[in-house]
Amino acid sequence: MPLRYRKHIRLPDHDYTKGAYFVTLGTRPRMQVFGRIIGTDATARMELNAIGGIVDECWRTIPDHFPHVRLHEMQIMPDHVHAILQLDHRIVHGTVQATQWVAGTDAVGGSRRIANGPRRGSLAAIIGAFKSETTKRVNRLNDTPARSLWQPNYYERAIREHTCERGRIALYIAENPKNWR
């Protein structure tokens, strides 16, 4: 069986420990598991079910685990989540160490250091922790061990500070329920 390699969609030289990001996380395979949209047009809103409640709770506790993160707009939809979060790199460099390392062994029994996962405090580490915790809680709720909740990866867009981009994205997030199919 041939090995499968995933295409890397992150910018290779971008520092993902600082800045504001618009992120989108989708369920696997786009299953509508977080609740339903009720109402139409301007009255449309998302009604969360128990799984959606878990996602909402876990998202809101991100700053408890990553103090350098500020949460802004967020919208849970039936099969995806849109959000804006901001990472303050001054706090990251002051309180969070660099990449987590583990001691591996080489062929002659010596030890060497190898990187384990994304850089601590980075956007990837935050999203990874969020997806992991929500998946564990949902699987516990549904008694479905080892079932994937999220699509692999996520989409992110770095928000430029000196434009009206953040306002447009925030409006898009807020109006997402009324634009639901």
Residue 31 falls within a domain, yes or no? yes
Q: Whole domain around residue 116: which residue ranges?
A: 19-179
Contacts of 68 (CB under 8 A, 6+ apart): 87, 88, 89, 91, 92, 95, 96, 121
Find the CATH number of the domain harbouring 145. Answer: 3.30.70.1290
Residue 9 falls within a domain, yes or no? no
Query: Can you give 32-65 as a three-state secondary structure string?
Result: CCCEEEECCHHHCEEEECHHHHHHHHHHHCHHHH
* pLDDT tens digits for range 30-85: 899 999 999 988 899 999 999 999 999 999 999 999 999 999 999 999 999 999 99
Q: What is the pLDDT of residue 98?
A: 36
The whole-model pTM stands at: 0.81
Residue 63 falls within a domain, yes or no? yes
* pLDDT tens digits for range 146-177: 899 999 989 999 998 778 899 999 999 999 99
Residue 49 falls within a domain, yes or no? yes
Query: CA 41 from chain center: how many Å?
Result: 28
Residue 109 falls within a domain, yes or no? yes
* Higher pLDDT, residue 12 or 65: 65
Separation CA 156–CA 158 (nearest Å):
7
**Residue 5: pLDDT band by 50, 70, 90 thresholds?**
low
Half-sphere exposure (Cβ direction) of 98: Cα atoms closer than 13 Å: 4
